[in-house]
Amino acid sequence: MGRGGDRVLSDLLFWVAGAAAIVTAWRVFRADSMVRAAYWLMASFVAVGVVLVLLDADFLGLVLLLMMAGEMTIMAVFMVMFMMNPAGLNPMMMVHQHRTSIVAGVVAFLGLAAVGLFGAFPVAPALSAPDTTARLGRELLGDSMLIFETAGVALLATMIGAIAIASGSGRYGTAADGSVEPPAELASGETP
Amino acid sequence: MTMPVGDLLPELILLGGAVVVLIFALIAPRHLQAWAAALATLVLAGAMVATITLMSGPERLTFAGTYAVDGVALWGKLIVCATTIGVVALSVEWFASDPRHGEYYALLLLSALGAVLLAGAADLMQLTLAMLLATTGAAVLIAYHRRSRRAGEAAIKFYLLGALTNSALVFGVVLLFGLAGTTTFEGLHSGLARLGSASLLPLVVATGLVLVGLAFELGAVPAHAWLPDVAEGAPAPVAAFVTAVPKTAALIALARLVAVLPEGAAGWRPLVAVLAAVTMTLGNVAALWQDDVRRLLGWSAVSQTGYGLMAVVALGRSSLAVPALLYFLAAYALATVAAFGVVVVLRGQADRARYAGLVAAHPWLALALLVSLLSFVGIPPLAGFAAKLALFGAVIDAGYGWLAALAVANTVVSVFYYVRVLAPVYLDEPLGAPLPRLGSWAVGSVALATAAVVLLGVWANGLLAAAHAARILPG
Amino acid sequence: MTLPALLVVAAALFGIGVYGALSQQSFVMIMMGLELMLNAAILAAVAFWARSAGGTPKGQLLAVVVMAVMAVEAAVGFALVTNIYRIRKADITEKLKALRG
Amino acid sequence: MLTAAIFIPLAGALLMLALPATRERRLRIVAVLVAAVPLMLLALAWLRFRGGGGFEQVEAVSWIPTLGARYAVGVDGISLPLAAMTALLFTAAIVYPVDLRGRPRAYYALFLFLESVSLGVFLAVDLLLFYVFFDLSIVGMYFLIAAWGHGEAARRAALKFFLYTFAGSLAILLAILALYLSSASGGAPRTFDMARLIAERPLDGPGLLSVLAFLGFAIGFGIKTPLVPFHTWLPPAHVDAPAPASTILAGVLLKMGTYGFVRVVLSMMPATFQRFAFPLAILAVVSIVYGALVALAQQHLKRRIAYTSVNHMGYVVLGIAAAGALRTGAEGARALALTGATVEMVAHGLITGALFLISGSIFERAGTYELAEFGGLARRAPALTAVAVLAAFASLGLPGLAGFVAEFQVFVGTFAVYPWLAAIGLLGIIVTAALFLQLLQRVFLGDMPERWAGWRDLSRRELTALGALLVFVVILGVAPAPLLAVIDAGVRPLVARR
Amino acid sequence: MTVWLLPLLPLAGALVILALGRARRSPAALTATALATLLAVIAVAVWAAVHASSAAWALWGPRLAPRLDVGRIGRTMVVLVPVIAVPVVLFAGASFRRDAGLPRLLALLTAFTGLMELLVTAGDFLTLLVAWELVGACSWALIGYQWRDVARVRAARDAFLTTRVGDLGLYLAAAAAFAATGSLDFGALAAARGPAFGVVAAGVLVAAAAKSAQLPFSPWLFSAMAGPTPASALLHSATMVAAGAYLLARLAPTLAPAVGWFGPAVALLGLATALAGGLVASVQTDLKKALAGSTSAQYGLMFLAIGAGFPGAAGAHLVTHAAFKALLFLGAGVALHAADTLDLATLARARLGRTITRVALLVGVGTLALAAVPPLGGAYSKEQIIVAAAHAARWRGTLVVGALVAGLFSAFYAARLQLLAFSHDRGDGNATDGTAPTGAPPSTPELASLALLAALSVALGALWLPGAASAAVWAVGAPLAPGAAWELAASLATVAMGVGGAWLLRRRHMLVTLGLPDAVRTRIAGWFGLPAVGRQLIVRPTLALANALADFDGRVVDAGVRGAVQVATFTSGVLAWWGERGVDGLVTAVARATTRLAHASRAADDQGVDRVVEELARDVGVVGTASRRLQTGLAHDYYRLAAAGTVVLIVVAAFVAVLGRQAR
């Protein structure tokens, strides 16, 4: 493909993907059931992933596509199964403070769109380089090592914490038994 | 590149310690779980020692400019670790019946690690992740009473509000990256300074969004709402932790961040001043009629955030700003441990009415409550007084006399609700049988924190002088 | 595929996310709104990386960081929601109002 | 030595808490002995006083060098008499018997604590230290009123006292900070040192900050004094406080306000003070007349005495304002005014202290303060009547007693500066005379209601305490020279500058 | 320093007497102590008068030092005061010998003497003021001697307050003198000029008028009658009341030349009082009050002389008046004792002239002196006053005529009092019918004191002797005017007219009522309603103002703080709206805020107890409640708050940034 045609095609794809991302995002909150909402959300992520790829951030796009979308969906379904019975497929529309929310959304959109449209950002396009991903890797293990490690620790803490909270059983029987504040009055025989 | 691992010694000790505690908790039998507390204390003490050894070195940025090892950060680490030691001691008997007692300390250490990292963060991404770590840990800790309806509710609210503001923060960070082309503070400093007036809008929006993100961690308006709920609902030792520790780190992070923002363009100084004013006022008036001491302490924590923000307002304009910041944080954290510690010792009983005649049954606890609350007010010679003195001096010096005046008015208002707690303690007759006490670990923690509040106040010079020399990089 | 265009799309996603976070009663749906906001942040981050930061790897790293935030938030959120559902049978915000005032 | 005077009572307070609570008598004896120590130490300081102007017998140690604050105490001609009066008044107040509600330890400990901080206020020669003690006095007094006051209303009155005066003290804090921050001129480090601030006067110009600092001080000290219209905390606090606490409140705590005017505002920012001297003098005159008139209308013994405090403290402020009204000229008259104001601080402390103790004796016996309930007590209580007559006449400014020495000098001095204000202020004298004569008549003279037939006259303890105060009232009235000589040493540098 | 013994000796004596009284010593011992003290004082006084001694009180202070200075008329007064006090104390000791309060009475009388000594020896305004006020306080104690009687205590209070109003004049005078000369010394006054000098003169005049019971202060003397008779005797003769005239006599030579209006003002005030007092004394039906009226009148004459420029004449009259007025009062005391009443009509029926003839005769001496019948001293000094009036620089005619009329009055009321109080028969010729005397006859010490004073009055007749005038001039420290024959003639004529008038009226049984309607008589006898006017114009409004202020003090409403309340109320309304959500919530909140405002106003206006500061505090509390409503406990409300807060934050930031940009 020629450079010009390349750009037209990618522009076209961007518009399609961008529109898809927005429309699917909107559908998330218009879905009849939580499961459908989760799928719409996944679709939105996929659309954004496409845009990322179009921007030559192939790796990120794929990560987003595969890891995030998948993880999101799985967890959402898990949640729905856990909480909604039967299976969360019932039609639902559970909203509150609807007008306020619309106003807030619109204001957020307008504000950030204004930033995008009228704000001057430095112009320094990324050169289309083949080693983008490799550079990311070098960054991760080089200058931004600490950041990377911090992210790792955060994920570790999340795992420990999530298990500690959510896991129903532990080494000593039901995990949550006794997990309350100390009683206000002493049990008989106990000395203060 | 080289890896200056030595600069991270305190952090690594905390991380390693957390892992060790976790492993201990997994293998130790139930009756030995409390030993995890001793381990955690050792770890924290080790981290403090490591921090102190770092103090003798030069103040510098490390890890390619993403992390600061400067006076402010190191003092922040000391405050965080010391506070956490106090919280650990408060937790031993409180969580004794919990089957996951041991893991609690691992999470506590990880959350403290998040705070420590946040205090040193000199990069927007580092800041974001450190905050994430601190917040995540805190959320789990708040929910740690898995059978407590109030704890669960508090955790959800904490989490939801945190997630929202975190999203705002992230978007703000992205905008700042777009403006400066980098995320290190050094880069921000030079990058933002170059911008023309057409970039004002993005800069303003980004500043606002980042500020909201930090406001959550600080417990400042408009993201303060979790604080009273958590203070009331969370396990009392955890309440002490989350009202003191993340705030310490976030205030330092905010100071570090605003120091690199261009002075005139974004107008962060008046903005923070307004935030401080609204926060302290709201916290104070909302605390007025609280009958639940824990909740009252939560609201008072909101107002204290407002006072703390005053130091940030004065940053760069007054030589008192940095001493004020650090001293205030130390005084606040210690008094918080003491005040919540009293609640812990009283087995979480927080109804004001039940404190009637406390002085007769537990004179030393009553004294601790008196000292900590009066320190919040700023009565000399307690630590809170020197803190307020430095804060007021700093903002007046910076030309924000009105903020000092407002803080004064707020302080007067605050007397009302603190006295509302103290009056029954000292003046009323006991209602019935005296409240039973929790064990001696908690008592020891309260005693230490109370003594520290007094000593820090009387010998204010030690910390003030050291803080005077502390720098805040890369501002 | 100019920067303003990318940012407008991101703004739209963010706005919808805000709407969702504020309007939904269910914790899970609120979290979906929050994910959308972060999604917008990822898009914006990559857009800046590609258009105004000269392709510095920090831009990509920023996107990775946001993803990490997303993952952590989701995991913790689900844990907490599971917990609260277990003890209170609460799945919407309106059911949690014991702590107030 | 001054340090010992401040901290021995504090140590005594801690000792109180350590002693067993059951033996009230022993507690009291220990408390009195401890309270009297500063009195003796200050007497010694008085003997050693040289009167060369400026602070003497300074004892200083480094405290917060980072902020330029020291622990520094010392005396000059103005603080020494006030400190001595404070020590005397505390001793008398502690001796005085009162219903301790079964908590003698806390009561005496609190009193000793309050003595300690009150002495600290007057002896501090570091502005920050001054503020520290100033603030603590509020806390101590709050608990005294709230815990040993009369009934539920006492809590409220105590809280009001706390909030109101604490607001004032914070206004002072801001002004102190403004002073402190301006003290960095010429590359010297900032300081809270009073001597340096007096010498350098960093904030003594026409600038806005000077004005604001002055306002802060004026409001803060004005509340404490109290000047109309900031006086509304005073009557309830007095009415509901136990008598010895009232004594201290009126005798010592109010002086902190006027002492602050002299020590801080007049000394450290005389030019700014001069700009506002006239409005201040007007407020003072309003306080004089208003306080006297409102007191006249009160039918409640303590309330009446409380309002006379507003009146008397008005004299003090009037004298101070007159002294600061000019930078040059009429030195003699201004010195006289300031001397009078200082004497009035001492005299009012002793006299009103005695009056409140007397009212306490009456309340302990009668359980009421309503004037209408009394009459003819002179039949049963000649000693009580005698001391009451003496105290009342001293308060209404009878020559030969301490109050006259003060008021006369204030008026004569002020007249040279503000003749009209002095003349209006004179009216207060006549009203106070009326109200005190009426008071004596209502309580002690005329017919006696049957119910007081069993009235006990003053006990030895009561008589001792009152005697100690009134002896000084007489001595100061007849032979004020030793006092005036000391005060003059403090006054001279203040009126004779540039 | 010897001169300081003059005030200190009696004060010490008073303390000794009190101590002896506590030790329950006999009345005789107490009286003897008092007398001994007084005699010692006389000795010192004579010494001081001769040596014109002067000394300062070193114990006062570096800037002001009270100074005693026996000079001018003071040298007479310093002796006169204790001399008069001796018989009075003697009388008191005898007539109150059974009274439990005797030690107090004697101590007060002695102290009173000492304080008066302080007053007459004062060499500067400070000393003067000290003595001035102390004399007043002492008079309060003396008048209120019988403190069980509320009416007497009230009278004492009124007397004290009235004279204290005058004291303010002295305060002003002292202050003005200091402002003008930098000193309080009388000697420095001469250097003063200008308006300050006018203030000094005015202050002195007011103070003197009040003490000497001149118009409009005269009625306080009536209140003073509530005291025991010896107290009145001392009060009216040589102490207290004498102080005013003494002060003027002392200072007039300095003040009058410098202040043009001073002399005429003093003279006219004196004249007015002399006439008014004469009228009052003439119609009074209470013996002591009539005497009190005469006191005002006689001091009025002295003022007249001083104003006319001859303080010496006033000084002479002060001396003679002291002697006979003390005598008359003691006589009244005996009469009261004997007849148990002071009402002249009743007394007339008691025929004391018959039962206690010796007393009547002794009192008669005083009466003659009061009536200015030569050759008694009273006549001489009154004559000098007429002469002085004739030499006045201004208002000469008025003063002379006025003085003569006043002389007529004094002759008339003197005769009237004697005739009524010590009548030999009932005045209607029916000598056999009358009430028997009820009281005991006077004791020997009482008689002796009367005799002493009578003798003194007679002895003062020596003034008529040739050559005595120069001694008098020395004694009073001021020149006397040369007299003329016509003045003496006119004066004697008026005396004759007065006495004769009284005699005639007695014959017509109209001496008590004078044929005047009751209403008129009562009005005149009560100082023309002056006390009521004082009550209406001063006491009532003051009390009303005091009550109003006290009421106001409960509210202390002022616009500024009220504004703050409104702001607080508004804020609470806004915050409440946050909690209420939506527009209807806003309406509710506004309504509530309005209600609250109304409530606040009502609280401030109606309840009259609550202060605005409290209102403010309460409103902060309301804001607190409202802000708690903000904390709904619902997470989505927190979200809304955070979102709105973010928007506001960014808007504010933008605003600030734009402003900052424009500023640069």
ipTM value, please give it: 0.89
Nearest to A96 among E636, E643, E647 (CB): E636
- In Å, how far is C1's CA from the nearest CA of chain B? 16
B chain contacts of residue D167, beta-carbon cutoff 8 Å:
408-409, 412
Q: Report the neighbours of B using a cutoff of 3 or more CB pairs below 8 angstroms.
A: A, C, D, E
- In Å, how far is B180's CA from the nearest CA of chain C? 8
The DSSP output letter for B351 is B
Question: What average pLDDT score do residues D284-305 get?
Answer: 90
Contact in structure between D347 and D415 (CB atoms under 8 Å) = no
Q: Residue E604: pLDDT above 60?
A: no
Which residue in B has a C-alpha nearest to residue C100's C-alpha?
B229
Beta bridge partners of E503: none
Mean pLDDT value across chain E: 82
Question: What average pLDDT score do residues B93-122 get?
Answer: 94
pLDDT digits (tens, 9 = 90+) for C75-93: 899 899 888 888 888 888 8
pLDDT digits (tens, 9 = 90+) for E220-268: 888 888 888 888 888 888 888 899 999 998 888 888 888 888 889 999 9
Residue D59's H or E segment, with its range, is strand D56-64
Residue D61's H or E segment, with its range, is strand D56-64
Q: Residue C31: pLDDT above 70?
A: yes
Q: What is the pLDDT of residue D334?
A: 92
Distances (CA, A) of D173 to B77, B380, B415: 31, 12, 16
- In Å, how far is C19's CA from the nearest CA of chain B? 12
Closest CA to D193 of D80, D3, D62, D374: D62
- In Å, how far is C5's CA from the nearest CA of chain E? 23
B chain contacts of residue E633, beta-carbon cutoff 8 Å:
229
Question: What average pLDDT score do residues E578-593 get?
Answer: 48
pLDDT digits (tens, 9 = 90+) for B422-441: 999 998 888 878 888 888 99
Highest mean pLDDT among D184-188, E135-139, E352-356: E135-139
Neighbours of A169 (CB within 10 A): 10
The DSSP output letter for E478 is S
In the block, tokens 């006389």 appear at E42
Lowest mean pLDDT among A86-95, A108-117, D272-281, D323-332: A86-95
Q: Is the pLDDT higher at D229 or at D490?
A: D490
Contact in structure between B412 and B379 (CB atoms under 8 Å) = no
Q: Residue B17: pLDDT above 70?
A: yes
Q: What is the pLDDT of residue E35?
A: 92
Nearest to B461 among D66, D178, D212 (CB): D66
Q: Residue E50: pLDDT above 50?
A: yes
Nearest to E640 among A100, A107, A111 (CB): A100
SS3 letters for E160-193? Answer: HHHHHHHHHHHHHHHHHHHHHHCCCEHHHHHHCC
Q: Residue B474: pLDDT above 90?
A: no
Q: What is the pLDDT of residue E475?
A: 79
B chain contacts of residue E620, beta-carbon cutoff 8 Å:
285, 288, 413
Helix axes E229-237, E287-308, angle to 10 degrees: 10
A95 at interface of E, judged by CB pairs closer than 8 A: no
- In Å, how far is B154's CA from the nearest CA of chain E? 10
Beta bridge partners of D59: D73
Q: What is the pLDDT of residue B161?
A: 95
Q: What is the pLDDT of residue A7?
A: 80
Lowest mean pLDDT among A77-81, C83-87, E79-83, E322-326: A77-81
pLDDT level of residue A93 (50, 70, 90 thresholds):
low
C chain contacts of residue E635, beta-carbon cutoff 8 Å:
93, 96
- Is E652 close to B226, i.e. CB distance below 8 A? no
Q: Residue E561: pLDDT above 70?
A: no
E chain contacts of residue A111, beta-carbon cutoff 8 Å:
647, 650
pLDDT digits (tens, 9 = 90+) for B208-220: 999 999 999 999 9
Q: Residue B108: pLDDT above 90?
A: yes
Which residue in C has a C-alpha nearest to residue A162's C-alpha?
C79
E652 at interface of B, judged by CB pairs closer than 8 A: yes
Q: What is the pLDDT of residue E490?
A: 87
Q: Which of residues 11-70 of B touch A (CB under 8 A)?
A: 15, 22, 26, 30, 63-64, 66-67
- Is C27 close to B160, i.e. CB distance below 8 A? yes
Question: What average pLDDT score do residues A49-76 get?
Answer: 82
Which residue in E has a C-alpha nearest to residue D307's C-alpha?
E550
B228 at interface of C, judged by CB pairs closer than 8 A: yes
Which residue in E has a C-alpha nearest to residue C95's C-alpha?
E634
The DSSP output letter for D58 is E
In the block, tokens 């007043």 appear at E136
pLDDT digits (tens, 9 = 90+) for D392-426: 999 999 999 999 999 999 999 999 999 999 999 99
Q: Is the pLDDT higher at E119 or at E435?
A: E119
- Is C100 close to E639, i.e. CB distance below 8 A? no
Q: What is the pLDDT of residue E592?
A: 57
Interface test with C, best of E636, E638, E650 (most C CBs within 10 A): E636
Do D and A touch, 3+ Cβ pairs within 8 Å? The answer is: no
Neighbours of A7 (CB within 10 A): 12
Q: What is the pLDDT of residue E194?
A: 75
Nearest to C38 among B148, B149, B170 (CB): B170
Q: Provide the sign of the torsion angle of the four alpha carbons E159, E165, E169, E175, taken in this order.
A: positive
Which residue in C has a C-alpha nearest to residue A27's C-alpha?
C16
Q: Residue E438: pLDDT above 90?
A: no
> In this prediction, what percent of chain E has a pLDDT beyond 90?
20
A164 at interface of B, judged by CB pairs closer than 8 A: yes
> In this prediction, what percent of chain B has a pLDDT beyond 90?
75
Contact in structure between C32 and A37 (CB atoms under 8 Å) = yes
- Is B209 close to E650, i.e. CB distance below 8 A? yes
Q: Residue B128: pLDDT above 70?
A: yes
Rounded to the nearest 5 degrees, what angle is found at the Cα of B71, between the Cα atoms of B67 and B77?
A: 70
How far apart, in whole angstroms, are the C-alpha atoms of residue E304 and residue E274? 9
Nearest to D296 among E160, E176, E546 (CB): E546
In the block, tokens 């330890």 appear at D105
Question: What average pLDDT score do residues E103-129 get?
Answer: 91
Q: What is the pLDDT of residue B176?
A: 94
Q: Which of residues 67-86 of C touch B (CB under 8 A)?
A: 68-69, 72-73, 76-77, 79-81, 83-84, 86
- Is C99 close to B160, i.e. CB distance below 8 A? no
- Is B236 close to A151, i.e. CB distance below 8 A? no
Q: Is the pLDDT higher at E484 or at D60?
A: D60
Q: Residue E577: pLDDT above 60?
A: no
Closest CA to D237 of D138, D108, D320, D149: D149
pLDDT level of residue B398 (50, 70, 90 thresholds):
very high
Nearest to E157 among D330, D438, D478 (CB): D438
B chain contacts of residue D146, beta-carbon cutoff 8 Å:
423, 426-427
C chain contacts of residue A68, beta-carbon cutoff 8 Å:
67, 70-71
pLDDT digits (tens, 9 = 90+) for E456-486: 888 888 888 877 778 888 877 778 878 778 8
Question: What average pLDDT score do residues A139-154 get?
Answer: 90
E chain contacts of residue C25, beta-carbon cutoff 8 Å:
636
Q: Residue E497: pLDDT above 60?
A: yes
B223 at interface of D, judged by CB pairs closer than 8 A: no
A chain contacts of residue B134, beta-carbon cutoff 8 Å:
none
D chain contacts of residue E176, beta-carbon cutoff 8 Å:
415, 419
Q: Is the pLDDT higher at A79 or at B166?
A: B166
Q: What is the pLDDT of residue E567?
A: 58
Q: Which positions ≥6 away from E414 have C-beta within 8 Å?
A: E294, E367, E368, E370, E371, E498, E499
Q: Residue E557: pLDDT above 60?
A: no
How far apart, in whole angstroms, are the C-alpha atoms of residue B32 and residue B22? 13
B225 at interface of D, judged by CB pairs closer than 8 A: no
Question: What average pLDDT score do residues E571-582 get?
Answer: 49
Tokens read off for D248: 């201290």
B chain contacts of residue C38, beta-carbon cutoff 8 Å:
167, 170
Q: What is the pLDDT of residue A192?
A: 43
Q: Which positions ≥6 away from E314 have C-beta within 8 Å?
A: E245, E248, E249, E301, E302, E303, E305, E306, E385, E388
Q: What is the pLDDT of residue D251?
A: 93
Do C and D touch, 3+ Cβ pairs within 8 Å? The answer is: no
- Is B416 close to D159, i.e. CB distance below 8 A? yes
> In this prediction, what percent of chain D has a pLDDT beyond 70?
99
Q: What is the pLDDT of residue E14?
A: 93
Q: What is the pLDDT of residue E422?
A: 83
Interface test with C, best of B107, B110, B174, B291 (most C CBs within 10 A): B174
> In this prediction, what percent of chain D has a pLDDT beyond 90?
66
Q: Residue E38: pLDDT above 60?
A: yes
- In Å, how far is C96's CA from the nearest CA of chain B? 6
Nearest to D426 among E62, E171, E178 (CB): E171
Question: What average pLDDT score do residues C64-68 get?
Answer: 93
Burial of E517 (0-12, 13-18, 19+ CB in 10 A): exposed
Q: Residue E598: pLDDT above 80?
A: no
E24 at interface of A, judged by CB pairs closer than 8 A: no
Mean pLDDT value across chain D: 91
Q: Residue D33: pLDDT above 90?
A: yes
What phi-psi label fits residue E286: left (phi over 0), alpha (psi between -120 and 50 degrees) or beta? beta
Tokens read off for B371: 């000292």
Q: Residue A3: pLDDT above 70?
A: no
Lowest mean pLDDT among A78-82, B326-330, D217-221, D231-235: A78-82
Q: What is the pLDDT of residue E586?
A: 44
- In Å, how far is B271's CA from the nearest CA of chain E? 6
- Is E634 close to C18, i.e. CB distance below 8 A? no
Q: What is the pLDDT of residue E258?
A: 83
pTM, full prediction: 0.91
